[in-house]
Amino acid sequence: MCDVAYGMKLKIPSDMIYLRPVRAFMRELAENMGFCHDRANDIGLVVDEVFANAIEHGSAETESWVIIQCLPTDEMMEIIVSDTGRGQEPSTRWISAWADAIKKKTVSGTERGHGLLLAHNLTDEMSMESNPTGGIDVHLMIYKEEQKIAQR
């Protein structure tokens, strides 16, 4: 794997008003990095879903922050979305919800609860872990399509 060419860190207020600009920014960044149009759209959608979860489930109030870090290489993009936690419920609850989602235990026929499954299905690797603030770090790895095909 190549060394990280550059990295970025965004500190965004925990407010749904930022969903659309974050999605557009991440999609544009991916296209500028050489991801094909479809993979860039996937990246925008995945970050949108994880960012929305961080706001809704991982932030105590709109005065808290969500951190999005991006560590790209020539072959892939690693994205880490971190929230600060709600302070009242353990972060392990959301890690458990993610484990259920990837086992496809989400309830079909409902409008909610599919964002983590969608994110898992559109990324090459996804993991969640508790962070020191009481929140969750969601790690996403997305390979450029030509790299993904070469690894099969």
Q: Is the pLDDT of residue 2 over 50?
A: no
For the chain, give the mean pLDDT.
81
- Region 117-137 average pLDDT: 89
Do the beta carbons of residue 48 and residue 22 sit within 8 Å? yes
Neighbours of 84 (CB within 10 A): 21
pLDDT value at residue 6? 63
> Which segments of the chain are extended strands (E)?
8-13, 65-72, 76-82, 125-130, 136-143
The torsion angles phi and psi of 12, rounded to 5 degrees, stand at: -120, 135
Q: Is the pLDDT of residue 13 over 60?
A: yes
- How far apart are the C-alpha atoms of 140 and 57, rounded to whole Å? 18
pLDDT value at residue 117? 82
Do the beta carbons of residue 46 and residue 140 sit within 8 Å? yes
- Region 81-108 average pLDDT: 65
pLDDT value at residue 78? 96
- How far apart are the C-alpha atoms of 102 and 90, rounded to whole Å? 20
- Region 8-35 average pLDDT: 94
Q: Global pTM?
A: 0.80
Digit-coded pLDDT (tens) for 38-75 = 999 999 999 999 999 888 877 776 578 999 999 988 89
Task: Give the alpha-carbon dihedral of 103, 106, 108, 109, to 10 degrees.
Answer: -160
